[in-house]
Chain A
Amino acid sequence: MRREIPAGRPWDGEAVEAVLEDAVLECERGSASERWCRSGGFARASGELTVYELDGEALIFDARTADTHHLNATACHLFRQLRETSDPAVLADMLVERYQIGREEALRHVERFLEDARRVGLLGQAP
């Protein structure tokens, strides 16, 4: 619930701080939601997923479904980046830089990866 500065206490330092804190949180949530809408998800909480990296690839065990997923080197790199951003454009730029491929191709890879990851449940709600 949104906190408000109580009537009659316009200069109450604690109350003002609380309202500012809420505003900051709301701002962060807002920006997070915006990214979520653009890309479709974030890597799910690490407590549910156990990730084992092997020679740049990864195996992910999903404790919720008992499924195991294999990520090749590109997917593993993207999955790591999802902790920081899920913006397809930013992810595609990372692939362009890492693999020296065209931006269109990189964007196709990213969108395919996000679609697959969402389908098998590796993406969760925005924090």
Chain B
Amino acid sequence: MRGMRDRAPSTLHFRVGIVSTSVTSSVRAILDDYAALYAAYRVEEAGPKAIRVRVERAPRRWLHRRRYVVTVNDRRQFEPGRISEVVPYLDWAINWEVPRALPEALHLHAACLSLDGQGLILPALSGSGKSTLASGLLARGWKYLSDEFGMIDTGTLAVQPYPRAICIKKPSMAAVEALGLPVFGERYYLKGAKGYVGYIRPTDVRADAVGSACPVRYVVFPRYVRGAEPALVPISRAEAALALHEVCFNLLTCPTPALGVLTSLVRGAGCYRLIAGDLERTCALVRRLMTADERREPVSA
């Protein structure tokens, strides 16, 4: 039985960088919310190889709270329980499918930005502070490519844009808001173990905030340490390639041998580990790295 707020399913199409998605739902609030979050990327027609996502209410069961079902390309992916969880899970479901939809690219768990057409990738596992750092750099005039996916074209080695809304955990939001970045809708969503998260739409920061595909000049592995003095420590290219290998989503399914692509990628890049502390000072440090000639000694704040 359809709820009062439901209607006939509608489908909206989006093109976020090189990723096309079609989102279908009969739950009006969810579709409207998602459409507002990605308003800048709405397109009229589904792109080729579009990822099809659908969100519906699960049938109500006796004594059980009603749930939502998120399916991606007809596979059941998530069952969030609250409506405030649906948009993050919808985004997450799309992310799960991206390496499958675009197998020809190498997908790294990384935030990516560019400055004057030179790419910076910030590979790290969740909780390392890469989205917060990406927001900080975006506020300082960098072009935004992605906060979650470093998509490397295996032919040109360029990093491709996938400028989804930046997902910031609530504890980091104060630092981001201090930079003047607007939180989408001034509201928070619940995202599993991450707790409450807010979104920043890059196009709310500047109309030209999103960058285009570019070569990778620096590979910087960030790790947030509360109260630490920000520091950049050079690492060997082999160490960097191995660390990239460890954050690769499609290591075994990419048709081009991943390690070969990664070694070629780092040959032309400066590679560092970054101890990230205070956001302002960390951003200033990274900026100095990008604007100075490549150095092989530690760069301190």
Q: Taking the complex as formed, is A107 at the interface, i.e. its CB lies under 8 A from any CB of chain B?
A: no
- Give the contact-size bracket for chain A: 10 to 19
Q: Knowing A66-B252, A70-B242, say if A52 contacts B260 (CB, 8 Å).
A: yes
Q: Taking the complex as formed, is A54 at the interface, i.e. its CB lies under 8 A from any CB of chain B?
A: yes
- Give the contact-size bracket for chain B: 10 to 19
On chain B, the residues within 8 Å of A71 by CB distance are: 238
Decide: A54 and B259 in contact? CB cutoff 8 A: no
Helix, strand, loop or mixed for chain B's interface? Answer: helix
Q: Taking the complex as formed, is B66 at the interface, i.e. its CB lies under 8 A from any CB of chain A?
A: no
On chain B, the residues within 8 Å of A61 by CB distance are: 257, 259
Q: Knowing A50-B257, A54-B263, say if A68 contacts B245 (CB, 8 Å).
A: yes
Q: Knowing A57-B236, A61-B257, A66-B252, say if A52 contacts B263 (CB, 8 Å).
A: yes
Decide: B257 and A59 in contact? CB cutoff 8 A: no
Interface string of B222-250 (1 = CB under 8 A from A): 00000000000000111101100100000
Decide: A68 and B259 in contact? CB cutoff 8 A: yes
Residues of chain A whose beta carbon lies under 8 Å from any beta carbon of chain B: 50, 52, 54-55, 57-59, 61, 66, 68, 70-72
Across chains A and B, which 6 residue pairs bring their CB atoms closest together, nearest first?
A57-B238, A52-B263, A54-B238, A54-B237, A70-B242, A61-B259
9 contacts between A and B (CB under 8 A): A52-B259, A55-B237, A55-B238, A57-B236, A59-B241, A59-B245, A59-B259, A61-B257, A72-B236
